[in-house]
Amino acid sequence: MLTSKQRAQLRGLASTEKTILQIGKAGITDNTVVQANDALRAHELIKGRTLDNCPLTPREACEGLAARCSAEPVQVIGSRFVLYRASDTVPPEKRIRLVR
């Protein structure tokens, strides 16, 4: 569980990230979960968005994907959302160090 300070830190880091995950009319598919897991393993922090034809609200998509990927939802703004999961595969110098 993230604290409010950790969440604020991650929001700041996510502001410069590009959106790398899109959820469309099929909703959260197995392929979407695989893509999200791969991205979280490589980057720890990912930004996604729901397209206009997505049957889920952005909050539902964020929470559903977070649950299926064992990640933490960081924020939802408009159609975009941010997920975080610590990863051992990221090089130590690129790992996100959360505030206490």
- Provide the CATH number for the domain around residue 64: 3.30.110.60
Contacts of 31 (CB under 8 A, 6+ apart): none
User: Is the model's pTM score more than 0.75?
Assistant: yes
- For residue 57, is it within any domain? yes
- For residue 95, is it within any domain? no
- For residue 15, is it within any domain? yes
- For residue 54, is it within any domain? yes
User: Above pLDDT 70, what percent of the chain?
Assistant: 100
d(CA 32, CA 63): 14
How high is the pLDDT of residue 1? 84
- For residue 23, is it within any domain? yes
- Going by pLDDT thresholds of 50, 70 and 90, the confidence category of residue 46 is very high
Domain count, the chain: 1
Domain containing 22: what range? Answer: 4-86
